[in-house]
A and B are shown apart, each in its own frame.
Chain A
Amino acid sequence: DADVTQTPRNRITKTGKRIMLECSQTKGHDRMYWYRQDPGLGLRLIYYSFDVKDINKGEISDGYSVSRQAQAKFSLSLESAIPNQTALYFCATSDEDRTGELFFGEGSRLTVL
């Protein structure tokens, strides 16, 4: 089983719909992140959480919200999806005290029509 699991892997939805992307991890890391990948723009940070009671905005948080339900779970929501939110979304975890390395999920491809 993957250390960082994202569901769904692919989703097509319509403008205005509410969408939730879920992430769970078995690495025991406190820190979790949501990134968005667009061609030519690299990865941009949406939200991050350093522990269960901590939520922080990244560089492109508008239109998104998150919930840290437990140490192992971090979900990303689009309350009212719009076409320019069509992208590949990645969840990642890290253990900052040791290596600073991020561990990524396989990604969730979202298409908003």
Chain B
Amino acid sequence: AQSVAQPEDQVNVAEGNPLTVKCTYSVSGNPYLFWYVQYPNRGLQFLLKYITGDNLVKGSYGFEAEFNKSQTSFHLKKPSALVSDSALYFCAVRFNQGGKLIFGQGTELSVKP
């Protein structure tokens, strides 16, 4: 079955430290991978996506993600976390162009001063 998993419900990071939010997927074929962020009382906002090409994808607000086909992972990273990065992060996968987007369960990122 096609699925996406975020193994950590919560990630805690000190401001200024690097952060990683993990995402793995199960797929037959080539996936289209996305990260979205949800701030409190707001809808989801698109951060970045991987369709094809360079495995390292850069997105909004200084975030980047690395596609690793052998490990079927698409982890979200940022070199230096900000308190304002605190939010709920969703990984999502689509298994073909035009297909439905399947979301992970979300990871709550908390960045402390």
Taking Cβ atoms with an 8 Å cutoff, the residues of B that contact A are 6, 9, 32, 34, 36, 41-46, 49, 51, 90, 94, 97-98, 100-106
Contacts and interface: CB of A to CB of B under 8 A. Distances in A.
Given A101-B34, A101-B49, A96 B97 contact: yes
Interface string A75-103: 00000000000000010100010011111
A106 interface: yes
Interface residues of A, number: 22
Interface of A: 4, 35, 40-45, 48, 58, 90, 92, 96, 99-107
B103 A43 contact: yes
Given A4-B43, A90-B44, A106-B43, A100 B94 contact: yes
Given A100-B97, A101-B34, A105-B43, A41 B105 contact: yes
Nearest to B91: A42
A104 B103 contact: no
A105 B101 CA distance: 16
A4 B32 CA distance: 24
A92 B34 CA distance: 15
B45 A104 contact: yes
Contact of B100 (A4, A48, A103, A105): A48
